[in-house]
Structure 1
Amino acid sequence: MQRTANPHAAGLIAAARALFLRDLRLLWRRRGDALQPALFALLVVTLFALALGNDRVTLAKSAGAVLWLASLLAGLLALDSLFRGDADDGSLEQWMLAPVPLAWLVLVRTFMHWATTALPLLVAAPLLAELLHLPHAQLGVLLASLALGTPLLSLLGAVVAALTVGMRRSGILVALLALPLYVPVLVFGAGSVVQAAQGLDVTGALLMLGAGLVLALVLAPLAAAAAIRIALN
């Protein structure tokens, strides 16, 4: 049993590594475009800080919601291009013919989407929170909610991007389809920071985000793979 399992696992790892390295090379070639989601999120946070003025209390109350909204919009900005380039150059057809499950390749690509859109914001979140005067006691809750919620947003977005991969100029449609799915994640993510500010227990909200992430890790790649097959047939 072990002899048959090891080659399969090695094939999955090799496919993930090849796709990961390919995406890194493409990302380096288009590094200007790759920085747009992170710069857009930084611009959103800066504009909110300027619009709300120098009132530290107002900034602190809205800091969690602003950072969560910036993360959501940054991921949404790059969502339409998640599978678009692969569909245009024929790579998706090669994915379907690969000796590894299509859902596995979708999961690897979704991880790259999260790593290039949400991970930089997660790293910069302490500095952005300081800009918005978020109390240090709430920073841990904010980071935990972002760490659980942003991968969930990417997984949900992958399903929407797969559904629209066969359409031209589907940017607005992608946003319209993705936003209703994003709302519960935004409510629990930003709501956990609000609960922490009120001295309430945030375990329930974080557990809901964690449960949603586990469920999405299992179901979202399968749903996105099925949507890609439908779109290309």
Structure 2
Amino acid sequence: MLNAFGASVRLALLCAMRRRADMLAPLAFFVMVASLFPMGVGTDPDLLRKMAPGVIWVAALLASMLALHRMFEADRADGTLEQLMLAPEPPVVAVAGKIAAHWLTSGLPLALVAPLLALQYGLDVPSLGVVVASLLLGTPVLSLVGAIGAALALGTRGGSVLVALMLMPLYIPVLILGAGAVSACMAGIGFKAQLLLLAGLCCCAVALAPWAVTAALKLALE
């Protein structure tokens, strides 16, 4: 199973590298949104610091949704999904590998770039660390839950809009916890509770989401 998981991740990463424009679109969107806000609201340092957690997390959430509707579309078009369901290995292993590759090409770059963008808002070093930690815990949840929406909307018209409508209510807890952790650190109060809750959500999503995505893909192929 580990070999099948690794092969699925490598294949998905190879396909993503061949579509670099699609891979870089979420990162470019994240950078533009997070960079434009300071220009639009002015240079008041107190205002920028107050806005920073919400702006960074909202930008990351929206950026992660850009490529979700295309996560399985190419595989459905070329027949890869049908072969995946007929493979001797459990389909959930390959699905988990594809979700992991999606996070590596979308969520992880956002977490790595976020500290540089947060400097525009005047965040201190501890707050920058919490920004990275919250994104490293929260973006996997966005990819895992987003994969469920992408699988459910597979083959439908206006799939991107449908995915956004389905996922937005599910993303709100992640947004509140992620931004809340950064705000708590900036206020000098405890932020570990928010990070622990994000970690719990991440563990639940890792355990359950691949199975739900596999079931949704089987329904889409029937």
Counterparts of 1:81 and 1:134, CA distance in 2: 35
Per-residue Cα deviation, 1:110-134 (whole angstroms, up to 9, x for no partner) = 1111111111111112211112211
- Indicate whether 1:208 and 2:197 are aligned: yes
Q: How does 1:210-225 map to 2 (within 5 A)?
A: 210-225=199-214
One-letter code aligned to 1:214 = C
- Indicate whether 1:22 and 2:20 are aligned: no
Q: How does 1:95-134 map to 2 (within 5 A)?
A: 95-134=84-123
Alpha carbon RMSD of aligned pairs, Å?
1.2
Q: How does 1:1-233 map to 2 (within 5 A)?
A: 12-233=1-222
One-letter code aligned to 2:28 = L
One-letter code aligned to 1:211 = G
Q: Please report how far the alpha carbon of residue 15 of structure 1 lies from its aligned counterpart in structure 2 after TM superposition.
A: 2.0
Contact 1:56/1:133 (<8 A) preserved: yes
Contact 1:118/1:150 (<8 A) preserved: yes
Contact 1:163/1:231 (<8 A) preserved: yes
Q: Please report how far the alpha carbon of residue 214 of structure 1 lies from its aligned counterpart in structure 2 after TM superposition.
A: 0.6
SS in 1 for 2:53: helix
How many residue pairs are counted as aligned between the two chains?
222
Q: Please report how far the alpha carbon of residue 14 of structure 1 lies from its aligned counterpart in structure 2 after TM superposition.
A: 2.6
Counterparts of 1:68 and 1:29, CA distance in 2: 28
SS in 2 for 1:134: coil
**TM-score, with structure 1 as normaliser:** 0.91
SS in 2 for 1:168: coil
Q: Which consecutive unaligned segments of at least 5 residues does structure 2 have?
A: none
Identity %: 45
Counterparts of 1:51 and 1:124, CA distance in 2: 21
**TM-score, with structure 2 as normaliser:** 0.96
